Amino acid sequence: MPSSAIGPLVLFLTILLTGAHLLGYLFAKLRQPRVIGEILAGILLGPFVLGKWPAYVHLLQLDVAAAPKKAALDLIYYMGLLMLMFISGAETKALFQKHERKQIAWLATIGTVLPFFIMLALALLLPLSWFMGVKANRTALLLVMSIAVAVTSIPVISRIFFDLKILHTRFARLVLGVAVLEDIGLWAVLAVATALAESAGLPRTKIAAHIIISLVYFGLGLTLVPRAFKRISKSRFNLLAINSPVTFTLLIAFGYVAVAGLLDVNLVFAAFLAGFAVSRKKLGEAMETISSFSFALFIPVYFALVGYSLIFGKSFSLAMLLAFLAGACLLKLAAVALGARLAGFKGLDVINLAVATNARGGPGIVLASVAYEAGIISAAFYTTLVLVAVLTSQAAGAWLEFVLRKGWQLLSADAMSTKAAVAESAPETLVA
């Protein structure tokens, strides 16, 4: 990249980062997911809004050294994506508890497995060419569509719980427990889908080998490797962990990703697993430092670039968006409601659990990004999945805030917690 292009690129990133933080802050004050504001910043600064203004294009020299600039932005984009998944993996491990196992099992089994397989069956009746990416891999597409219906967001829904001051409640533990189990299973399925797409045209033996490698990587990365890193973290001979815990923690993530790259395993999936290898006892402060910096720079820019890359031109289909949004929400809400009923919940409890677990948030957007980059889905379906993730997250945040503002209980057993949350959040609601 010529030096003359670096200044405008830094200026563009400055504008993008500022816009992402300002709109993210605004949406947070309005009790909406911060990620929606960050994506909206990218849309406003992208080709479909300000990008149509010649003076803006000339100021940032967006048409100069386009290929090198794209490479630089892609690196920042992937750093944000990988850090988001690394942090999500670490938070998933920390949030998982063994309480209410029976209820979580009902909610996860019925609320996740049922919509996944129903969508897998229904997708066979749909015109898949409408959704198909350049790899034209039917099986991979069916798996991605089914994941998109079943997935629940840990980062977004936990942030909503934190903002509403209900993260300590039994309701939050149940929803996050379900999301933990969903993410582990669905990321494994996504690893298989990307392996199938990347192996397109290869002999069946090589495809099978690729899938087996991905599953073995998943198994080892979730069990034996975290134990090994836990022992290494405690070792008094580990001078790197003692003198620079942040560096050692980052090397865990980079090590997982590097090995995944050598084995041709999905890198995003690897970053998620890397979070499980972090010892919260020894590296908790280092993880907090990495999380703070990532959420200050890489992750807001990643979501802003997601908005920047949304395709609202001829390839965007409003009919696809409305149809998939309605179908995905109907399947997920009905399945979680059934699981909640079987777990013993009634009335408003069922509605609250269903709406909360319907938020697709970050994982839904990451799914869209990974599937589109892998050539599994079309540009129109990519935009559809991102917008579905945004809309379902906003709906969940708005509904839970409405329930609290009305003084209703999120769960019958959480009466005292809910009343306390309402008392604490009432003044902020008036300000917002």
Query: Cα(160)–Cα(399) distance, rounded to whole angstroms?
Result: 11
Q: Could you read off the pLDDT of 348-400 as tens digits, one per residue? A: 999 999 999 999 877 788 888 889 988 999 999 998 998 898 899 889 988 99
Domain 3-431 has CATH 1.20.1530.20: yes
Q: Could you read off the pLDDT of 170-193 as tens digits, one per residue? A: 888 788 778 777 777 777 788 788
CB burial of 366-378 (b: ≥16 within 10 Å; e: otherwise) equals bbbbbbbbbbbbb
> Cβ neighbours of residue 323 under 8 Å, at least 6 residues apart?
none
Q: Where are the domains of the chain?
A: 3-431
Region 60-65: mean pLDDT is: 60
Region 155-179: mean pLDDT is: 77
Question: Would you tell me how many other CB atoms lie within 10 Å of the CB of residue 181?
Answer: 19
Q: Could you read off the pLDDT of 255-298 as tens digits, one per residue? A: 999 999 998 787 877 888 898 889 878 888 999 999 999 999 99
From 191, 122, 93, 108, select the one nearest 150 (Cα to Cα): 108
